[in-house]
Amino acid sequence: MRLADFSADSPGTLVPTVNGLQAFVPDVLPPEIDVADLVPDLQAATLALGELKGAISPLANPELVIRPMQLREAVSSSNMEGTFTTFTDLLVFDAGGPSDPQQDTVEVHNYVKALRHADRLMQELPVCGRLITELHKILLSNVTKKARGAAVEPGFLKKHQNFIGGTPKSPRFVPPPPAEAVKALGELETFINRPHRRGLELIDAALIHYQFETIHPFPDGNGRVGRILIPVYLQATGIIDGPYLYMSEYFERHKDDYIDLMYGVSSSNGWISWIKFFLNGVEESSRSAIATTKQLINCSEFFRQQIMAGRGRSAVLVQIMDLLLSNPVLSVAQIAHRIGQSDQTVRNNLGWLVEKDLVRELKLHRPKLYISPLVLDIISGHQEKI
């Protein structure tokens, strides 16, 4: 960490740590910033987020679009950490197979599980230390020794100094030592749960994300936990009414700016540039989610039209295709259980759907698994074929 980068305006304190290095401890939020500089960006982000809410809220079953978007978020957020899997492998594992998946697939699936569990946790807890450690526990569970998280205890804060970028002897950034990190995390929890500044929640989300990533309270998994906290915080404040704003695709596309701008806050008080970047991300992510929502709704309507044209009014066929919108890979037994039909009825209907290429059987899997190629196209951005 180049100490010369840190100006007198830096919003934090440098403290001695291991290897003769200095660690950065951020000041307590909120900083003093001129919100007037952010008004146009805040208005654009708020408008786009409102349009996303308007696109999803009327749906009878919002899970039809939320679950596919969570899969995209898991892949993008994990890619940023050097963990890669295909959407097909992730969907197959989510459906219960194979028994010996690649470890990267397990890690990405942990992210999906954490996203889903966050929604349940919020029904019982505020956005607090316990919620954060629960998410970390899910993210880092069942990771083998070859994976990056093997040396950490899932759900426990760091016990040793960690580093961001570079090497332990020459890191790009040194977050707070363990004791200071515990104190800073407690102060962040207080900030998160104070009376909200109406109209400024998106700005506060930017502050919170920076602060959490700067504290870096865990040995591993900080980036992923921090990105999950964005929709969690916005849902807790009521800005969104469901877990449907995810920003990792935006951060992944602008990864260098994402890293550099947060560093710029620490080194030279670059709050305005970071918050503008974050608000632009809210706008872009909302627009992208709106487009995905429209694609999935159109896909559902296309399925209905195909079913009506080929088989007339078939409630079972519609039920199967609606189920495959939110769960794009399933077995016969899983479909039968969820729609309340016999295995044989499901097989008969799947046969017709396969014949029309609305559904395909995934080879080499037992039990047999079925996928909707159109849904895979949408959630993978037409990047992945089966």
What pLDDT is recorded for position 311?
Answer: 73
CA angle 286, 287, 292 (to 5 degrees): 95
Query: What amino acid occupies position 210?
Result: Y
Structure tokens at 235: 């849902």
What pLDDT is recorded for position 365?
Answer: 75
CB of 362 closer than 8 Å to CB of 369: yes
Sign of the torsion angle spanned by Cα atoms 87, 135, 223, 191:
positive
Structure tokens at 329: 């890979």
Query: What amino acid occupies position 93?
Result: F
Query: What amino acid occupies position 363?
Result: K
SS (H, E, C) the chain: CCHHHCCCCCCEEEEECHHHCEEEEECCCCCCCCHHHHHHHHHHHHHHHHHHHHHHCCCCCCHHHHHHHHHHHHHHHHHCCCCCCCHHHHHHHHCCCCCCCCHHHHHHHHHHHHHHHHHHHCCCCCCCHHHHHHHHHHHCCCCCCCCHHHHCCCCCCCCCCCCEEECCCCEEECCCCHHHHHHHHHHHHHHHCCCCCCCCHHHHHHHHHHHHHHHCCCCCCHHHHHHHHHHHHHHHHCCCCCCCCCCHHHHHHCHHHHHHHHHHHHHHCCHHHHHHHHHHHHHHHHHHHHHHHHHHHHHHHHHHHHHHHHHCCCHHHHHHHHHHHHCCEEEHHHHHHHHCCCHHHHHHHHHHHHHCCCCEEECCCCCCEEECHHHHHHHCCCCCCC
CB of 112 closer than 8 Å to CB of 71: yes
Is the fold of 3-290 the same as that of 313-379? Answer: no
Instruction: Count CB atoms within 10 A of the CB of residue 341.
Output: 17
- pLDDT tens per residue across all 386 residues of the chain: 899 999 999 999 999 999 999 999 999 999 999 999 999 999 999 999 999 999 998 888 898 889 999 999 999 999 999 999 999 899 999 888 776 778 899 999 999 999 999 989 999 999 999 999 999 999 999 876 443 444 678 999 999 999 999 888 899 999 999 999 999 999 999 999 998 778 899 999 999 999 999 999 999 999 999 999 999 999 999 999 999 999 999 999 999 999 999 999 999 999 999 999 999 999 999 999 999 999 999 999 999 999 998 876 688 999 999 999 989 999 999 999 999 999 999 999 999 999 999 999 987 777 889 999 999 999 988 666 65
Query: To the nearest 10°, the Cα dihedral for 134, 138, 142, 148?
Result: -90
Q: How far apart are CA 192 and CA 185, in angstroms?
A: 10
Does the domain at residues 313-379 carry the CATH identifier 1.10.10.10? yes
Q: How far apart are CA 246 and CA 281, in angstroms?
A: 10
Cα separations in angstroms, 9 against 143, 265, 268, 278: 41, 10, 6, 21
CB of 89 closer than 8 Å to CB of 154: no
In 3D space, the residue among 58, 96, 10, 1 whose CA is nearest the CA of residue 268 turns out to be 10
154 contacts: CB under 8 Å, gap ≥ 6? 136, 137, 138, 139, 140, 141, 143
Give the pTM: 0.93
In 3D space, the residue among 162, 111, 117 whose CA is nearest the CA of residue 141 turns out to be 111
> Which residue matches tokens 């799947």?
350
What pLDDT is recorded for position 143?
Answer: 79
Structure tokens at 205: 């989300």
The full set of domain ranges for the chain reads 3-290, 313-379
What pLDDT is recorded for position 381?
Answer: 80
Q: How far apart are CA 221 and CA 223, in angstroms?
A: 6
Which CATH code for domain 3-290?
1.10.3290.10
